[in-house]
């Protein structure tokens, strides 16, 4: 018998691809915290607990054909959807198991990576206990586990919203969709009538506007699960500690650098305390963190010395996110805005804007011979944290051939995604084996790509317009649907031109498209 233990199963969740879940992102975050991550060169295993509709699982399987990806979920409809994607995408290295966590087959073996996104805060205490049992038993020594959760204190002023939605929905009749719709209407009503809670918490009142833009399926899964809760970092660290696992870093990458998360006036404690459990909690207060992606390891092996990192860790290649970045470059990281500038970054941008290089290649690069390794490493990591560089799983080839006029999508999985998600209003994620992760396009760009691959550049905008009309998907300008035919045409023509000059070269570099075989 399956045991959802208070988790909603009568309504599917929404599909979504989360790049933090890629083995490469998890490995890099661990390595910059001086932990040796598992290799992903051959036969690694990856388990996703609560994989939902499986978009992350299947995209990552397509992008990492050398790994084996297993997803588990209690909702049979989710598993059915994943099985269709696996079969249509010809994925030999992915499988989905319909089971609750408690009934996970014991002989499933060990995994170098375990991930759970959108699960830990939303399940019962007993199910969380079971997750810890699975982690302890099935994470390979030196393996990495990624867990996301709603965090305190960022949820402090919002928790009553969840309680109002839950209580009101429980009183209503109808299915889950109807009940969340009614609860949302009631929430807006009491906000607009200036209930004292909203008057005293203006940020909570503003938050309601964001909820109105969300998909009802997301709202139901976020707010209506019986055991929803938010955690302080220290509580989660204690739980994983009891399962003999240690905190080894977090995502996004900038969260590993306290000076990129908190204002300078709070930084004294960080300078004087090396206890990470203390500094992480302090950081969450200074940044009012509402969501965390944390990485834990079982028996982590630590890296010695600066060069140790470059020598011990394979499969991480660095590249500038674009070829035309000009310094100084400003990054807004939420609480802190940081500026990248200086000669070291100028050289780094030059050497990794065309080629992808590994850390050891960067450290040995003749143009950096004047710089000490520690400074180079710090600049590379800070550049990634500030969104200037990206980390790939393999060297990404420099474009040697001209950009194809009629491209071809070689991966069956990507062909399936493009057909299946056409103009759905949701972003589309395509797998790139070169980077070991998925790359997300707007559904409109995906429709242009689809048309380009079907019949080339001739009459492209015209054909995209027909697709748009058939799908009834509107184009928006200034937040309003465009109804004027001439303006619609102009906007489509412009979107096609931008996609051809910027989108296509990028997809070529990522190996997502190739020249069509003759």
Ligand X SMILES: C[S@@+](CC[C@H](N)C(=O)[O-])C[C@H]1O[C@@H](n2cnc3c(N)ncnc32)[C@H](O)[C@@H]1O
User: 166 or 365: whose CB is closer to ligand X?
Assistant: 166
Q: Smallest distance from the beta carbon of 74 to ligand X, in angstroms?
A: 4
The DSSP string of 59-86 is HHHHH-TTSEEEEEES-HHHHHHHHHHH
Q: Smallest distance from the beta carbon of 127 to ligand X, in angstroms?
A: 5
Q: Which residue has the tokens 């060990």?
A: 110
Residue 12, class by beta-carbon neighbours within 10 Å (0-12 exposed, 13-18 middle, 19+ buried)?
middle
- Is residue 390 within 8 A of residue 321, CB to CB? The reply is yes
Q: Smallest distance from the beta carbon of 159 to ligand X, in angstroms?
A: 18
Q: Give the residue, chosen from 59, 75, 229, 255, that forms a contact with ligand X under the rule CB under 6 A.
A: 75
> And the tokens for 285?
């207060």
* Alpha-carbon distances, residue 260 vs 201, 272, 289, 381, 382 (angstroms): 27, 17, 13, 12, 9
Q: Give the residue, chosen from 20, 128, 179, 221, that forms a contact with ligand X under the rule CB under 6 A.
A: 221
Q: Does 74 bind ligand X (CB under 6 A)?
A: yes
Q: Smallest distance from the beta carbon of 270 to ligand X, in angstroms?
A: 31
> And the tokens for 306?
């600066």
> And the tokens for 484?
């004027």
Q: Does 50 bind ligand X (CB under 6 A)?
A: yes
Q: Does 94 bind ligand X (CB under 6 A)?
A: no
Residues 6+ apart with CB under 8 A from 437: 19, 22, 24, 25, 59, 60, 63, 393, 431
Q: Does 123 bind ligand X (CB under 6 A)?
A: yes
Q: Does 127 bind ligand X (CB under 6 A)?
A: yes
User: 16 or 456: whose CB is closer to ligand X?
Assistant: 16
Q: Smallest distance from the beta carbon of 99 to ligand X, in angstroms?
A: 7
Report the distance separating Cα 219 and Cα 208, nearest Å: 12
Q: Does 145 bind ligand X (CB under 6 A)?
A: no
CA angle 3, 5, 10 (to 5 degrees): 80
DSSP 265: G
Q: Smallest distance from the beta carbon of 243 to ligand X, in angstroms?
A: 17
Which region among 113-121, 250-258, 306-314, 473-481 touches ligand X (by CB under 6 A)?
A: 113-121
Q: Smallest distance from the beta carbon of 128 to ligand X, in angstroms?
A: 10
Q: Does 5 bind ligand X (CB under 6 A)?
A: yes
Q: Does 51 bind ligand X (CB under 6 A)?
A: yes
Q: Does 16 bind ligand X (CB under 6 A)?
A: yes
Report the distance separating Cα 332 and Cα 387, nearest Å: 10
Q: Does 444 bind ligand X (CB under 6 A)?
A: no
User: 179 or 450: whose CB is closer to ligand X?
Assistant: 179
Residue 254, class by beta-carbon neighbours within 10 Å (0-12 exposed, 13-18 middle, 19+ buried)?
buried
Total chain residues near ligand X (CB under 6 A):
23
| For the chain, the helix, strand and coil percentages under 3-state DSSP, each to the nearest 5 | 45, 15, 35
H and E: helices and strands count for the chain? 21, 18
Which region among 44-52, 84-92, 196-204, 463-471 touches ligand X (by CB under 6 A)?
A: 44-52
Q: Does 100 bind ligand X (CB under 6 A)?
A: yes
Which region among 71-79, 161-169, 242-250, 398-406 touches ligand X (by CB under 6 A)?
A: 71-79
Report the distance separating Cα 50 and Cα 20, nearest Å: 16
The DSSP string of 294-355 is EEEEESPPBPPSHHHHHHH--S-EEEES-S---SSEEEE-SS-EEEE-SHHHHHHHHHTTTS
- Is residue 334 within 8 A of residue 292, CB to CB? The reply is no
Q: Does 59 bind ligand X (CB under 6 A)?
A: no
Which region among 46-54, 85-93, 136-144, 437-445 touches ligand X (by CB under 6 A)?
A: 46-54
Which region among 3-11, 132-140, 160-168, 408-416 touches ligand X (by CB under 6 A)?
A: 3-11
Q: Smallest distance from the beta carbon of 86 to ligand X, in angstroms?
A: 16
Residue 47 has phi, psi (to 5 degrees) of -120, 130
Which region among 68-76, 200-208, 237-245, 470-478 touches ligand X (by CB under 6 A)?
A: 68-76
Instruction: State how beta strands 111-116 and 68-73 pair.
Output: unpaired
Residue 477, class by beta-carbon neighbours within 10 Å (0-12 exposed, 13-18 middle, 19+ buried)?
exposed
User: 32 or 51: whose CB is closer to ligand X?
Assistant: 51
Q: Smallest distance from the beta carbon of 61 to ligand X, in angstroms?
A: 14
Q: Give the residue, chosen from 28, 44, 46, 101, that forms a contact with ligand X under the rule CB under 6 A.
A: 101
Q: Give the residue, chosen from 68, 73, 280, 390, that forms a contact with ligand X under the rule CB under 6 A.
A: 73
Q: Give the residue, chosen from 7, 46, 223, 270, that forms a contact with ligand X under the rule CB under 6 A.
A: 7
Q: Give the residue, chosen from 19, 38, 118, 436, that forms a contact with ligand X under the rule CB under 6 A.
A: 118
Q: Give the residue, chosen from 37, 38, 52, 438, that forms a contact with ligand X under the rule CB under 6 A.
A: 52
Q: Does 117 bind ligand X (CB under 6 A)?
A: yes
Which region among 114-122, 172-180, 293-301, 466-474 touches ligand X (by CB under 6 A)?
A: 114-122
Residues 6+ apart with CB under 8 A from 191: 198, 205, 208
Q: What binding mask, one character per residue, do residues 379-408 give for ligand X by CB under 6 A, x or -?
A: ------------------------------
Q: Does 78 bind ligand X (CB under 6 A)?
A: yes
Report the distance separating Cα 360 and Cα 403, nearest Å: 31
Q: Which residues bind ligand X (CB under 6 A)?
A: 4-5, 7, 13, 16, 18, 50-52, 72-75, 78, 100-101, 117-119, 122-123, 127, 221
């Amino acid at each position: 018998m399956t045991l959802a233990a208070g988790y909603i199963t009568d309504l599917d969740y929404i599909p979504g691809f989360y790049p933090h879940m890629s083995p490469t992102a998890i490995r890099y975050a661990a390595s910059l915290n001086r932990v040796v991550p598992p290799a992903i060169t051959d036969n690694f295993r990856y388990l996703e607990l609560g994989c939902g509709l499986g978009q992350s699982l299947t995209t990552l399987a397509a992008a990492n054909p050398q790994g084996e990806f297993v997803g588990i979920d209690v909702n049979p409809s989710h598993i059915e959807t994943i099985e269709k994607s696996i079969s249509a995408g010809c994925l030999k290295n992915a499988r989905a198991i319909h089971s609750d966590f408690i009934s996970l087959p014991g002989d499933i073996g060990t995994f170098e990576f375990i991930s759970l996104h959108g699960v830990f805060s939303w399940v019962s205490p007993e199910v969380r206990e079971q997750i810890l049992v699975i982690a302890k038993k099935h994470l390979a020594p030196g393996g990495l586990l990624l867990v996301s959760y709603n965090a305190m204190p960022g949820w402090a002023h919002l928790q009553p919203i969840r309680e109002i939605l839950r209580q009101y929905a429980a009183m209503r009749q109808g299915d889950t969709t109807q009940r969340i719709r009614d609860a949302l209407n009631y929430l807006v009503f009491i906000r607009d009538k200036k209930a004292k809670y909203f008057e005293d918490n203006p940020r909570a009142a503003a938050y309601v506007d964001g909820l109105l833009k969300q998909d009802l399926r997301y709202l139901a899964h976020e707010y209506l699960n019986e055991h929803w809760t938010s955690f302080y970092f220290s509580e989660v660290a204690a739980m994983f500690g009891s399962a003999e696992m240690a905190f080894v870093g977090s995502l996004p990458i900038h969260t590993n650098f306290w000076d990129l998360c908190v204002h300078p006036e709070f930084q004294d404690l960080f300078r004087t305390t090396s206890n990470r459990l203390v500094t992480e909690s302090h950081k969450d207060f200074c940044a009012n963190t509402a969501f965390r992606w944390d990485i834990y390891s079982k028996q982590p092996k630590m890296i010695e010395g600066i060069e140790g990192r470059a020598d011990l860790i394979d499969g991480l290649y660095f590249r500038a996110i674009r070829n035309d970045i000009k310094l100084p470059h400003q990054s807004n990281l939420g609480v802190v805005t940081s500026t990248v500038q200086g000669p070291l970054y100028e050289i780094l941008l030059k050497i990794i804007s065309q080629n992808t290089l590994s850390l050891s290649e960067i450290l040995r690069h003749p143009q950096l011979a004047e710089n000490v390794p520690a400074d180079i490493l710090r600049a590379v990591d800070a550049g990634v944290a500030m969104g200037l560089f990206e980390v790939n799983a393999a060297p990404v080839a420099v474009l040697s051939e001209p950009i194809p006029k009629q491209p071809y999508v070689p991966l069956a999985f990507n062909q399936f995604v493009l057909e299946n998600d056409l103009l759905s209003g949701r972003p589309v994620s395509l797998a790139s084996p070169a980077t070991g992760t998925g790359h997300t396009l707007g559904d409109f760009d995906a429709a242009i790509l689809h048309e380009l691959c079907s019949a080339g550049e001739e009459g492209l905008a015209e054909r995209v317009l027909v697709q748009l009309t058939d799908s009834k998907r509107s184009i928006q300008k200034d937040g309003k649907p465009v109804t004027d035919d001439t303006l619609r045409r102009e906007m489509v023509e412009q979107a096609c031109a931008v996609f051809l000059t910027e989108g296509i070269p990028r997809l070529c570099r990522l190996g997502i498209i190739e020249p069509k075989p003759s």
